Chains A and B, each alone.
Chain A
Amino acid sequence: MALFSRAARAQRRPRASWTRAALAAGVAVVAVTVAACGNGGSSSAASSGGKDGFNEATQASGPLTVWVDSTRVPAAQAYEKAHPNVKLNVVTYDGDANGSNTLQTKVDLYDRTGNGWPDVVFSAESNEVSWTQPAGFTAPLNKGLIPSSVLSQFSAGSLAPCTVNGTVYCLRNDLAPAMLWYNAPLMKQWGYQVPTTWAQYQQIGEAVAKQHPGYIVGAAGDTFAPEIYMWASQCQANDVTGIRAVTVNVTTSNCSRMASMLDTLLADKSMSKLSAFSSAFDKQEKGKVLMMPAPVWFAGSVFDSSSGLNTPKDQIAAAPMPQWPGTTTPTTGNVGGGLWLLSAHSTHVSEAVNFIEWVTTNSAYQGDLAPGLPAYGPAASVWLANQQKAGYFANDIVPVVQQAAGQIWQGWGYGKFSQEAIWAATVTPGITAGKAIVSMLPAWQTAITNYATAAGYQVSH
């Protein structure tokens, strides 16, 4: 079982040298080298028990090794500025973004040699805990290291990717709820009401296709399209029910209703087939975006960006995500959000805890410097106030974003396999070729099942 072998691997020490020598008969070098291999480091496993819920390694003094991506370097610098007595060893890495698997590659190697783990890691990959927890890499945080008074102030559900069986294994850096961005003056000029249901949204899309061709109400070509649309529609594509169990059921009405809406608008050409980050989109859709269901960070990355659409100020406004009829609690999707992990092998646990707590909760960084919506409630308020004060938006986005942050549907989990990658490889080529998403739902289901199974999951339907 993948779970068992992963835990075993974290503590694996030398294989029996006689087995190796037998196999490598005649290659004396191999026997000598390998027999001496991999027996270093203190042993610490993520088993329960022990102070604070895990077995701490022997603590030592020395600099705190922190791995961050380039975007989070200011966080480490801000911490250093606020704590001049603390020595940090800041290592910049790719943040595990885009499926690079850097963290897992390195942690696996360190597990084999028994040393080299960093103390604190930032990861842009929100499903990190799905493998770090079984591997014994992350330390539990809610068993004594971080007080519940702090943990309870994180936005509702923001710690879901960090939580396994009630134990919190990481702190969420930022949230990325999806909402409906729209061009306020244009909507007013053409007399459209901001939609509150998907039916109204579709109507506007069809109207735009006839009356104002060339304008779009959304984009479906991004790899995170399922996280905006399918997640919001409560599609059961990623219902992670256990550390290695997932339920996948995408041919149900929750999924097909959204798929057919997308198909209609794609056929009308009021929904773009392109990715919002492609050059073609920048060229063709500049000034042509009427509405855009998208995460909160689209404002900075796409609209208010010289390398994006470069939309002038006082045009872009935010509204809550439209809903399907009969949905009792409104839901939306989420696209991204980084995590801060504390290594269970760390020899500087208390400094690491201080760092991790400060960097996720302190408004000096999260409120004032962070590029994304903080997951920590109080810091989020500061951040939102700063965003609104900059005067770019056409309406008050603060209540909209706060509302969206609380509406992220909990039925879409964080598995070890990447839903974005699966959608990109399976559905996006079809969209480009003009196929209907509804027709691709069975293929999508098969692909998710295949990848989940390959990742060691038990898939039910």
Chain B
Amino acid sequence: MRTDIHLPAADGAAALPRHGSRRAPSPSRLTGQLLGGLLLLVFVVFFVLPVLWLMLAATKTDAQLVGDNPLSFGSWHQLRVNWDALTGFQGNVILLWLRNSAVYAFLALAITLAVSIPAGYAMAMMEFRGRRALLVITLVVMLMPATTLVVPLFLELNEVHLIGSLWSVVLPFSFYPFGVYLTYIYFSTALPRDLLAAARIDGCTEFGAFRRVALPLAAPIIALVGFFSFVANWTNYFLPYVMLPQSGQYPVQVGIGLLLTDVPQFNPTAGAGTVLRPELALATLLGITPVLLVFLFAQRYLVSGLLAGATKE
């Protein structure tokens, strides 16, 4: 965003600093920028240091993990050894788990988008009986702790004979009230009613207005809801853990929980030590990489403004 528009100050007061003018920035602005930069940097270290450690941990042996400098690099050879050991665990099951996670997350994502975007749009832009009730019910359901919802959910899904199929996981995942609320807020704050009114004047039906006016402008919110839904599904541990009876169906989160019980440091009395901590670190990295890739891909859309180029002056 360009900030170097050189305009005279409205009241001519020389005391107010001009932003980004060709003169050097004033000292107070410079310190402000430095402080801001320092703040951002401190938090970069806070957020990234553990992940950096994790990446380096995958290249070391267990002894190096404990004995060497935490941020030292192991070796590429050891990374290869850890990879072989990890994939050797129950015959490449880590790759199966990753595949399962992808299937569940993407299927649920598709359903979530198909369902949540229109719903959030309608709650933001249309008046209909029960609109407010729907908002309230959604909020109530969102705030209920999930612990006790598992038992009724299990019984429900058992009733329709879905226990054991991937739909027992995908369908509950598709219910994503957080996404509906995000869509609601997004449309209600960013999409002006005039645009829709204009579309209606032009003879559009509601569906037409949605398709021609709102959807093209909805790329950011689709990306946002899609992204968060994907991440929520990918990182969900408890629902698949309860619903899925076969270990070949586990997503990678439950799989990592399983790996954990084979690491002696986490399970001294029963772990046989067949999984070492660097392998666990590697498994964790594999488990988070898809999420990060999706983020990188979606970031462009996630933060662009809704009205970029949409308004006519």
**A–B direct touch in complex (beta carbons closer than 8 A):** yes
List residues of A whose CB falls within 8 A of some B CB: 33-34, 36-38, 40, 69-71, 73, 89-95, 97-98, 100, 102, 105-106, 109, 112-113, 116, 124, 176, 222, 224, 276-279, 282-283, 295, 297, 300-301, 305-308, 310, 335-336, 338, 371
Query: Which residues from B are CB-within-8-Å of A33?
Result: 156, 159
A383 → chain B closest CB, angstroms: 14
Q: Are A336 and B264 in contact (CB under 8 A)?
A: no
The answer to whether B270 and A308 have CB atoms under 8 Å apart is no
Which residues of A lie under 8 Å from residue B67 when comparing CB positions? 282-283
B274, A224: Cβ atoms closer than 8 Å: no
- How distant is the Cα of A129 from the Cα of B66 in the complex, in angstroms? 38
User: A310 to chain B: which residues have CB within 8 Å?
Assistant: 63
Binding-face segment, B19-27, B110-118, B240-248, B284-292:
B240-248
Interface membership of B185, Cβ < 8 A: no
CA distance A102 to B270 in the complex (A): 15
Distance (whole angstroms) from the CB of A111 to the closest CB of chain B: 11
- Give min CB distance, A283 to chain B, whole Å: 6
Instruction: Please name 5 pairs of A and B residues whose Cβ atoms are closer than 8 Å in the assembled complex, sorted by A.
Output: A37-B159, A73-B90, A98-B267, A112-B155, A338-B270
Known: A71-B262, A307-B62, A307-B276. A335 touches B269 (CB 8 A): yes
Q: Are B273 and A300 in contact (CB under 8 A)?
A: yes
A301 close to B155 (CB less than 8 A): no
User: Please, how many angstroms separate the alpha-carbon atoms of A79 and B276 in the complex?
Assistant: 27
Q: Across the interface, which residues of B come within 8 angstroms of A301, CB to CB?
A: 264, 268, 271, 273
Interfacial chain A residues near B50, Cβ < 8 Å: none
* Cβ contact within 8 Å between B267 and A97: yes
Given contacts A95-B270, A283-B66, A308-B264, whether A112 and B159 have CB atoms under 8 Å apart is no
Q: B154: which A residues are within 8 A, CB to CB?
A: 109, 112-113
Would you call B253 an interface residue if the criterion is a C-beta within 8 Å of the partner chain's C-beta atoms? no
Please give, as numbers and ranges, the residues of chain B lying within 8 Å of A91 by CB-CB distance. 245-247
Q: Which residues of A lie under 8 Å from residue B268 when comparing CB positions?
A: 222, 224, 276-277, 301
Query: A162 to nearest B CB, angstroms?
Result: 17
Say yes or no for B297: interface residue by CB 8 A criterion.
no
A92 touches B269 (CB 8 A): no
* Chain B contacts to A: CB under 8 angstroms: 61-63, 65-67, 89-90, 151, 154-156, 158-159, 163, 241-242, 245-247, 257-262, 264-277
Nearest Cβ in chain A — how far from B219, in angstroms?
Answer: 35
Residue pair A95, B261 in contact (C-beta under 8 Å): yes
- Residues of B near A40 (CB, < 8 A) are 158
Cα-based distance from A92 to B273 in the complex (angstroms): 16
Q: Which residues of A contact B242 (CB under 8 A)?
A: 105-106, 109
Contact check, A371 vs B66: say whether CB atoms are below 8 A apart: no
For B161, the closest partner residue in chain A by CB is A40
A91-B246, A93-B247, A116-B163 known; A307 and B270 CB under 8 Å?
Answer: no
Partner of A176, one of B151, B155, B269: B269
Secondary structure call for the A interface = loop
B249 (CB) vs chain A CBs: closest residue: A91
Decide if A69 touches B156 in the complex (CB within 8 Å).
Answer: no
A124 to B272, CA, bound (A): 12
Contact B274 A70 (CB under 8 A): yes
Given A73-B90, A113-B155, A338-B270 in contact, is the A92-B264 Cβ separation under 8 Å?
Answer: no
Cα distance A36–B66 in the bound complex, in angstroms: 56
Q: Which of A109, A116, A283, A336 contacts B151 (CB 8 A)?
A: A109
Q: Contact between B63 and A306 (Cβ–Cβ < 8 Å)?
A: yes
Residues of A within 8 A of B241 (CB): 102
Given contacts A71-B272, A93-B247, 7 further A-B contacts (CB under 8 A): A38-B155, A70-B258, A70-B272, A109-B151, A113-B154, A279-B265, A371-B272
The residue of chain A having its C-beta at the shortest distance from the C-beta of B62 within the complex is A307
Do A224 and B62 touch (CB < 8 A)?
no
Q: Known: A91-B245, A92-B90, A113-B158. Is A305-B273 also a contact (CB below 8 A)?
A: yes
A16 CB to closest chain B CB (Å) equals 16
Min Cβ gap A160→B in Å is 17
Closest CB in chain A relative to B134 CB, distance in Å: 15
Closest-by-CB residue of B relative to A298 is B268
- Does the CB pair B258–A94 fall under 8 Å? yes
Instruction: Tell me the complex Cα distance, A112–B152, Å.
Output: 10
Q: Find the B residue at minimum CB distance from A279.
A: B66
Q: What are the residues of chain A within 8 A of B273 when measuring CB–CB?
A: 300-301, 305, 307
Given known pairs A113-B154, A300-B273, the reply for A98 and B266 (CB within 8 Å) is: yes
CB-CB < 8 A to A102: which residues of B? 241
Instruction: List the B side residues contacting A37 at CB < 8 Å.
Output: 155, 158-159
Residues of chain B within 8 A (CB-CB) of A94 are 257-258, 260-261
Tell me the nearest residue of chain A to B277, going by C-beta.
A307
Looking at the assembled complex, report how far the CB atom of B2 sits from the nearest CB atom of chain A, in whole angstroms: 52
- Which A residues are in CB contact (< 8 Å) with B245? 91, 106, 116
Contacts of B275 in A (CB 8 A): 70
Interfacial chain A residues near B257, Cβ < 8 Å: 94
Contact A70–B262 (Cβ < 8 Å):
yes
CA gap between A269 and B275 in the complex, in Å: 32
> Is the beta-carbon distance between B266 and A306 smaller than 8 angstroms?
no
Cα distance, A109 to B261, chains bound together (Å) = 23
Which of B61, B261, B275 has the most C-beta atoms of chain A within 10 angstroms of its own C-beta? B261
Name the B residues within 8 Å of A282 (CB-CB): 63, 66-67
**In the docked arrangement, what's the CA distance between A282 and B67, Å?**
8
Whether A69 lies near B261 (C-beta < 8 A) is: yes
Closest to B246 in A: A91
- Residue ID in chain A nearest B267 by CB atoms: A97
Q: Is the CB of B62 within 8 A of A306?
A: yes
Contact partners of A71 in chain B: CB under 8 A: 262, 270-272, 274
B154 nearest CB across to chain A (Å): 5
Give CA–CA (A336, B246) in the complex, Å: 26
Question: Hey, which chain A residues are within 8 Å of B90, CB to CB?
Answer: 70, 73, 92
Whether the pair B246, A124 counts as a contact (CB closer than 8 A) is no
